[in-house]
Amino acid sequence: MQQDKKCLCLELSPSLDFRLRVFRDYLKEKGFQVVPSDPRQLADYRQWLEQKGYALTTIANIISSVRDLYRKAGIETKGWIKSIRQPKGFLRDRVPVADTKKLIDYVNQNCTLRDKLIVWTMASLGRREVELSRMDVGDFYQDGDYHYARFRPKYHDAKDVTKLVTNGLLQVFLEYQNQLKSKNPDDPMFPSRKHGRLRPKNISFIVAELMKKAGVKTEMNTRRITPHSLRHTAASVAMSESGGNVFAVKEFLDHEKVETTMKYIHYAIPPEQRPENLVKW
């Protein structure tokens, strides 16, 4: 990539950063042969990105890379290439229940027990990729008549959390436990091919690819349906099955504040459960 104050040229390299590839596509569509030295010519860039369906946080990230490109060439873009305020909350949809069942059916029929358990755990307990990455063999155990799974939360200073493992997830855990080569409780629950620990980004990639193969993640929703969407799905199902008990869902997701939990709940309260219908004299 060459940059000067007269012309900023983009190489047509396959290794070009994703954000600049998007920018290059915009330039081609608008008929620019090179990056214009006057950023005022790009005043409609944000609107173009919105029309392409990019999420707001992604738009902000893409535009920041273009600003950096101009800044390195000594050109000020403030006021001309307009970005957006980063919205509060999450820009992820839940995976619809029917699609979640389709994903589970797919992994049941086509996947190794390791990948099957990853999807089942994320969909059933709403666990994050980092929590699965940190699991050890000894973190699944039996205590009396019940089985439990222990997770190390996202933040290192937070306490470990323990979840009851039951229903279909229990059967998958027991199958997986039986075929594990290592019985050392300190070994990774989800090992990589080189017998190390699967990293969160590897888990995210595995689940995203399975979502695509199952037809759950498509070109139409690819920016809003991610592996993390399964956490939204588990929260929404828990909310529905608990009769709208947001405090139970808060504990289920291990949030400190109800406000955080509310961002995960894609749930419509039935008329018979709305507060105005419940207060009677």
- Whether pLDDT at 52 is above 90: no
Task: Say whether pLDDT at 14 is over 90.
Answer: no
Here the tokens at position 225 are 């349906």
Does 116 lie in the same domain as 45?
no
**Position 86 in a domain:** no
SS3 for the chain is CEECCCCEECCCCCCCCHHHHHHHHHHHHHCCCCECCCHHHHCCHHHHHHHCCCCHHHHHHHHHHHHHHHHHCCCCCCCCCCCCCCCCCCCCCCCCHHHHHHHHHHHHHHCCHHHHHHHHHHHHHCCCHHHHHCCEHHHEEEECCEEEEEECCCCCCCCCEEEEECHHHHHHHHHHHHHCCCCCCCCECCECCCCCECCHHHHHHHHHHHHHHCCCCCCCCCCCCCCCHHHHHHHHHHHHHCCCCHHHHHHHHCCCCHHHHHCCCCCCCCHHHCHHHHCCC
**Interatomic CA distance for residues 228 and 208, integer angstroms:** 9
Domain around 20: 2-72
Instruction: Say whether both 148 and 225 belong to one domain.
Output: yes
Mean pLDDT of 123-151: 95
- Confidence band for 124, pLDDT divided at 50, 70 and 90: very high
The span from the CA of 136 to the CA of 140, in Å, is 8
Select from 53, 192, 172 the least CA-distant residue to 120: 172
CA nearest to 159, candidates 125, 200, 131? 131
Q: Residue 217 in contact with residue 93, Cβ under 8 Å? A: no
**57 shares a domain with 126:** no
> Is pLDDT larger for residue 60 or for residue 78?
60
Average pLDDT, the chain: 84
* Average pLDDT, integer, range 65-80: 79
How far apart (Å, rounded) are the C-alpha atoms in residues 120 and 1?
Answer: 44
| 106 shares its domain with 145 | yes
Q: What is the CATH number of the domain that holds 162?
A: 1.10.443.10
Radius of gyration of the chain (CA): 23
Distance, CA of 87 to CA of 58 (rounded, Å): 11
Summarize the confidence of residues 33-40 as an average pLDDT.
84
Is the confidence at residue 2, as pLDDT, over 90? no
Residues 18 and 140 in one domain: no
Q: Is 167 in the same domain as 257?
A: yes
Mean pLDDT of 128-134: 95
Residue 119 has pLDDT above 70, yes or no: yes
pLDDT of residue 267: 64
Is residue 276 assigned to a domain? Answer: no
Tokens found for residue 39 = 């950023």
pLDDT at position 206: 96
Is residue 145, in this structure, part of any structural domain at all? Answer: yes
The predicted-structure confidence for 81-95, as pLDDT tens digits, reads as follows 666 555 444 456 788
Average pLDDT over residues 195-224: 89
Token duo for residue 142: 């039996």
**Mean of the pLDDT values across residues 148-161?**
85
Whether 19 is in a domain gets the answer yes
pLDDT band of residue 54 (cuts 50, 70, 90) is confident
pLDDT beyond 90 at 66 = no
249-269 pLDDT, tens per residue? 999 999 988 888 888 887 666
Question: Are 124 and 55 part of one and the same domain?
Answer: no
Measured at the CA of 232, the angle between CA 235 and CA 88, to 5 degrees, comes to 115
Q: How many domains is the chain built from?
A: 2
Query: What average pLDDT does range 179-190 have in this prediction?
Result: 90
Residue 270 lies in a domain: no
The model's pTM: 0.66
CA 44 to CA 75: how far, in whole Å?
Answer: 18
pLDDT (mean) for 43-52: 86
User: What six digits make up the tokens of 113?
Assistant: 């027990």
Write down which residue in 39, 72, 105 finishes a domain: 72
90 occurs within a structural domain:
no
Give me the pLDDT at residue 8, please: 60
123 exposure class (CB count in 10 Å sphere: 0-12, 13-18, 19+):
buried
Are both 62 and 102 inside the same structural domain? no
Give yes or no for residue 130 having a pLDDT over 70: yes
